[in-house]
Amino acid sequence: MKRFIAVLTMSALPLWGGLASAQAPAQSTAQAPAAPVAGRAPLGVTVVEMEAIVVGWSAKHDLFGKTVVNDKNDKIGKIDDLIISPGKAGNTPAATFAIIGVGGFLGIGKRDVAIPTEQLKLQNKQLTLPGATKDALKAMPPFEYQKR
């Protein structure tokens, strides 16, 4: 009896293999799915855009907390934030203002001022605000966040 069951099992194995292969999905000749889209534009960036991203400034790594100096290399403040304003005529928004903390000691007496990002320059791996002084920045109206 044991021999009969063993022979029956061995003879059924090829049948199970045939069933398994019949149930396996056929090789697809379809192409890879298209890139995902948001509205009508493909999501992600193009190769050209990626090249601009790689050489651009990172808010997290290159800007936040970085010291800003003037053209005489005097420390005049630190970048605390970036403001992204709505674009003109519905264009893509851009980081248009840097919020620079000026004055104070250990955070006491510090105030924030808004500076257009186009006025910041990168010179010798240092963020520079040409022509600025601590006194000039302290004389500016303070930047205050709008309550939402």
The answer to whether 130 and 122 are in contact (CB under 8 A) is no
Residue 23 identity (one-letter amino acid): Q
* Predicted local distance difference test score (pLDDT) of residue 34: 58
- CA-to-CA distance for 112 and 142, rounded, in angstroms? 6
Note the pLDDT of residue 129: 92
Burial of 79 (0-12, 13-18, 19+ CB in 10 A): buried
Q: Which two tokens stand for residue 89?
A: 């005529």
The pLDDT of residue 103: 79
Q: Which residues of 101-121 are buried (b: 16+ CB within 10 A; e: fewer)?
A: bbbeeeeeeebbbbbebeebe
Q: Tell me the CA end-to-end span of the chain in Å, nearest whole number.
A: 83
In this predicted structure, what is the pLDDT of residue 115?
93
Res 80: pLDDT: 92
Distance from C-alpha of 100 to C-alpha of 143, rounded to nearest angstrom: 9
Residues of the chain with pLDDT under 50: 1-22, 24
Strands 111-116 and 121-123: unpaired
Q: How far apart, in whole angstroms, are the C-alpha atoms of residue 66 and residue 23? A: 61
pLDDT in tens, 46-75: 777 777 777 777 788 888 889 999 989 999
DSSP β-bridge partners for residue 78: 67, 101
